[in-house]
Amino acid sequence: MAQTASDIPARAELLAENLRLAARLDEAEQTLEAIRTGDVDALLVSGPHGEQVFTLDGADRVYRTIIETMNEAALTVDVDATILFCNPRFGELIGSPLAAIVGQPLTAFAAPPQYDPLRRLLADARQAPVQRRLTLRAADGRPVPCQFAASPLVTETGPQVCLTASDLSELEAAAGSARVLREQQQALEASQATLRSFYDSSTFIMGVAELAGDELLVVHTNAATARFFDTTSRDLAGRSFAAPEINGPWLDRCRHSQVRREPVEFDYEHPTRAGPRWLHATVAYLGDNDAGRPLFSYVAEDVTEQMRAKESLIQLNETLERRVAARTAEAEERAQALRQLAGELGQAEQRERKRVAELLHDGLQQVLIAAQLQTEMLRRQLTDSPLGSTAGRLDDLLRQALTTSRGLTAELAPPALYFGDLLAALQWLAHAYRDNHDLTIELTVPPTVGPIEESVKVLLFQAVRELLLNVVKHADVTAAQVGVAYRPDGQIEVSVVDRGRGFALSPGWSAGQPGSGFGLFGVRERIALLGGELRLDSQPGTGTRATLIVPVDSPLPRESAPAAAADETTPPIRVLLVDDHQVVREGLAAVLFGHDGLLVVGEAADGLEAFEQARRLRPDVVVMDVRMPRMDGVEACRLITRELPGTVVIGLSMSDDPHTIAHMKDAGATEFVSKSNVAEQLLPLIRRCV
């Protein structure tokens, strides 16, 4: 269509109108944006009535202020549960700034178990208002219980949900405390009911009393108290609890409890209509009542029967103690008699041993030594005769008989035991067990052994011999140890130890104990008589230790008997025997053996050995043969008397040649004896010379 000239102005007007409309539209859009964002609070509008101001936030500002200052948390979320808006209270509730909350999903502020309940809440709230209790999680991880109210909200941008949340923490804590208080109240009431039931049904006298001046008045009491006083609880209230004669002790205990703030227990005798009764009471200060009077609880138990039983028990105990003391004294007397008997039996055994040994020595051995000496002289005279061999065989037989007799004598009464100290006796015992039983004994003794009473020394010797015999019989060993020691308490201790089989030692071992024996049982009793003891320590496979502990100065009680002829305190005459023939030395020792006051301390086979032995042993008497190898008796006598002027030398020879006798006496010999008469003359000669 062709454009006419008239159409041009119309078009220009339309364009201009379009520009005006576009400008107004742009202004309107800016205004709406300002209104939407809250940058504009009012509008100035021109109209038929002139310009008017319209306030856009009149009611909205009030609501905004309420929302931002209210105590409940408020927020809006979209359909994805993203937080679009929240008030400051919501930030305080979960402990996060608003900038860290807006734009976050609501589930970010809940524990995983609450995710699904939150989603269901939002879904239901888009349909209609709902209320739910849910738990949020604060920034520090603590749970925050909340009561949510959710409502649907339709906006230009789409559907949303408006929520308010009330913090239930204090309410639930208060409810929990109230619940705990109710439970505690219920428990307290149950406990009070139990205590009341116990109080009312108890057989103990129980109640509360107040101290009014110097009088103790009953406030309330239980049924047992009423029964005890043969009245009622109502009648007892306000009355004096204690009778006049016992009021003082009660007041003292109550005041003591009040001062010390602790219960006080005591026993006392309470008068009743049926007679006095014993009560065991406890009082405790409770505090003061409204009138300022001290209150006390009291609990008392009737212990009359127990006190009577206690008294009866005391009397019974006293009776039993008297009976036990009497039986103990009787048992001790019997034990003492048994020990005395054991001691007497031991002494009788030892006397009999010594008597038999003396019979052998004074009878058989004297005959044998005389026969041996005569046979020796006969053999020398018949050296070139066919009868010389017969005399030699006879000499051997006599020697064997003498050796056997001497061994038996030594076994019955060892010379070292009676003429030496304890050390010498134990040394002899060690040699005897080595030779007769193949038992090597290691002897450990102090450098010197002081004087020990004869009966104590004999008892220790017998006990050690018995213990060593047990070692031989039961230990299955080839060695043992014997030790002697002095204890600080003035006692001597002798121990016998082996590393053999050992045995299980039952408590209170007796004669029937394996390895003990009746001999050892007797030794234990005799040691007990001395005030000592025998200790046994043994385990299977570890050996045995037996220890004898005896006071040094505690002799065995002696039975009445004639006094010994010799003074036991006088030291024995020490004799050294010198002869180049062993059989002669043995014969001389047999002659001297067993006589009180004599002790053979050594033997020598020639003059030089005799001089050395004399310097070492320093004997009182030297019995010296004249004819010997290396150095004869004359020269040896001269050296000994010069070196030891206090030593007596007695010459000895087979002949009675005057020249031989003169030579010996010139060398310093005091006396001379012929071998043919030695059995009869030697002993008297020694006693006369010393």
SS (H, E, C) 272-285: CCCCCEEEEEEEEE
Tokens of 233: 């609880």
Helix axes 454-470, 304-359, angle to 10 degrees: 90
pLDDT at 129: 92
Please check whether residue 566 is in contact with residue 522, taking contact to mean a CB–CB distance below 8 angstroms.
Answer: no
**pLDDT at residue 449 tops 70:** no
Residue recorded with tokens 């002289």: 377
Sign of CA dihedral 300, 302, 308, 314: negative
pLDDT at 389 over 60: yes
pLDDT bracket for residue 592 (50, 70, 90): confident
Q: In a 10 Å sphere around its CB, with 0-12 CB exposed, 13-18 middle and 19+ buried, how is residue 205 labelled?
A: buried
What's the mean pLDDT in 437-455? 79
- Separation of alpha carbons 310 and 304, rounded Å: 10
Place of tokens 């006088």: 570
**Nearest Cα to 374, choosing from 158, 674, 135?**
674
* Residue 468 or residue 569, greater confidence: 468
How do residues 510-536 score in pLDDT, each as one tens digit? Answer: 444 444 444 567 677 777 777 788 888
Question: What is the CA angle 210-212-215, rounded to 5?
Answer: 90
> How far is Cα 306 from Cα 360, in angstroms, rounded to an integer?
77
Q: Quick one: CA dihedral 558, 563, 567, 573, positive or negative?
A: negative
Per-residue pLDDT band at 263 (split at 50, 70, 90)? very high
- Range name among 179-188, 316-325, 402-411, 609-618 with the lowest pLDDT average: 402-411
Rounded to an integer, the average pLDDT of 68-94 is: 88
Torsion of CA 54, 57, 58, 64, to 10 degrees: 180
pLDDT at 347: 67
Asked if pLDDT for residue 81 goes beyond 80, the answer is yes
Residue position matching structure tokens 């061999």? 389
Beta bridge partners of 539: 543
- Phi and psi of 59, rounded to 5°? -75, -35
List phi, psi (to 5°) of 683: -65, -50
Strand partners of residue 75: 86, 163
* φ/ψ (deg, to 5) at 638: -65, -45
Q: How confident is the model at residue 623 (pLDDT cuts 50, 70, 90)?
A: very high
b/e map 599-627, b = 16+ CB within 10 Å: bbbbbbbbbbbbbebbeeeebbbbbbbbe
pLDDT at position 28: 64
**Pairing mode of beta strands 50-55, 73-77:** unpaired
Give the H or E element holding residue 131: strand 130-137
Sign of CA dihedral 318, 324, 327, 328: negative
Q: What is the reported pLDDT for 637?
A: 92
